[in-house]
């Protein structure tokens, strides 16, 4: 079955750029989505179709997807961006989630 892999944790200083990766075989041939989840809250879609931001998501969130890797980029990271981030793809009629990446802003 298809799998996507994320690093368990990423750290970034306030104001710097955070990169969170998601790797899977030929992931670039599929659409990747990204969700932000803060403690005790439901996941929130922050990027879909590789690069699109839903209404209400700040412009500092962006995405890319090529080859075997999709990347969520958070520019000018703020303390409020500290959260768990999950990538998600669709393969052979199945939803696949990455294991999640804990973003620490310090």
Binding residues vs other proteins (CB under 8 A): 1, 29-31, 33, 35, 37, 42-45, 48-49, 54, 84, 86, 88-91, 93-100
Q: Enumerate residues 6+ apart whose C-beta is below 8 A from 97.
A: 4, 86, 87, 88
Minimum CB–partner distance for residue 61 and other proteins (Å): 14
CB of 73 to other proteins, least distance (A): 18
Q: Could you tell me the smallest distance in angstroms from the CB atom of residue 34 to other proteins? A: 9
For other proteins, which is the closer residue by CB, 14 or 67?
A: 67
Distance CA 97, CA 40 (A): 19
Closest separation in Å from C-beta 59 to other proteins = 19
| Nearer of residues 8 and 59 to other proteins, judged by Cβ | 8
Half-sphere exposure of 84 (CA within 13 A, CB side): 13
- CA–CA separation, 38 vs 55, rounded Å? 19
Task: Give the residue with the Cβ less far from other proteins, 5 or 73.
Answer: 5
């Amino acid at each position: 079955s298809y799998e996507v892999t994320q690093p368990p944790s990423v750290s970034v200083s306030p104001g710097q750029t955070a990169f969170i990766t998601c790797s899977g075989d030929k992931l670039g041939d599929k659409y990747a989505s990204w969700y932000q989840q803060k403690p005790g809250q439901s996941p929130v879609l922050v990027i879909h179709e590789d690069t699109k931001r839903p209404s209400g998501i700040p412009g500092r969130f962006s995405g890319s997807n090529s080859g075997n890797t999709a990347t969520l980029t958070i520019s000018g990271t703020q303390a409020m961006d500290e959260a768990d981030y999950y990538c998600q793809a669709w393969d052979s009629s199945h939803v696949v989630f990455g294991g999640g990446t804990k973003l620490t802003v310090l």
